[in-house]
Amino acid sequence: LSQSIADIDKDLEACSIEIHHLQSSVIFLQNQHRRLENYRTCLRSLKSPIRKLPNEVMLRIFDYACDMNDVFANNIEAMPASSISSVCARWRNLAKSQSILWSRIRIEM
């Protein structure tokens, strides 16, 4: 009887080890799945049609969108030049290259 209990204890320990190993594998696969989904999202964004617009067209759109920048506003919508330049590196470089976007400033004291 004591030998049977010892065998069962050994089997329980082996099962616990295997459960832990399988849980670790599941966590690894979930992390891998999440990384692959993020990578797929990044790759899809590279195919976005907006990326195909020439810089000149983008600058005209930015110029149209940036009517006035309210320096002391509490929300980002009042500073369209800042909003545009916060989207991505391309937009930031384009916005920085156009001084007209930054020259329309309203300051209310």
SS3 33: helix
- What pTM does this model have? 0.55
What residues have CB less than 8 Å from 19, skipping those under 6 apart?
Answer: none
Q: Is the pLDDT of residue 104 over 90?
A: no
Residue 11 has pLDDT above 90, yes or no: yes
Looking at the predicted structure, is the pLDDT value of residue 74 above 80? no
The C-alpha atoms of residue 68 and residue 15 are separated, in whole angstroms, by 68
Contacts of 5 (CB under 8 A, 6+ apart): none
What average pLDDT does this structure show over 51-56?
A: 92
- Residue 77: predicted pLDDT: 72
Are 79 and 69 spatial neighbours (Cβ–Cβ below 8 Å)?
yes
Chain mean pLDDT for the chain? 90
DSSP annotation of 104 reads -
Q: Could you give the CA distance from residue 52 to residue 90 in angstroms, rounded to a whole number?
A: 12
